[in-house]
Amino acid sequence: MARVGGISVEIADSLFEKVSGLMMRKSIKPLLFDFKRDSTMLCSIHTFFMLKPIDIVYINSKNEVVQVIKAKPWRIYYPRKKSRYVLELPAGMGRKFTAGKKIKINT
pLDDT given for residue 107 in this prediction:
83
CATH number of the CATH domain containing 9: 2.60.120.1140
pLDDT given for residue 54 in this prediction:
94
pLDDT given for residue 41 in this prediction:
92
Domain range enclosing 71: 2-106
**How confident is the prediction along the chain (107 residues), in pLDDT tens digits per residue?**
899 999 999 888 755 565 555 555 567 889 999 999 999 999 998 888 888 899 999 999 999 999 999 999 999 999 999 999 999 999 999 999 999 999 999 98
Q: Which residues of 47-66 are buried (b: 16+ CB within 10 A; e: fewer)?
A: beebeeebbbbbbbeeeebb
pLDDT given for residue 82 in this prediction:
97
Check if the beta carbon of residue 85 is closer than 8 Å to that of residue 59: yes
Domain count, the chain: 1
pLDDT given for residue 1 in this prediction:
82
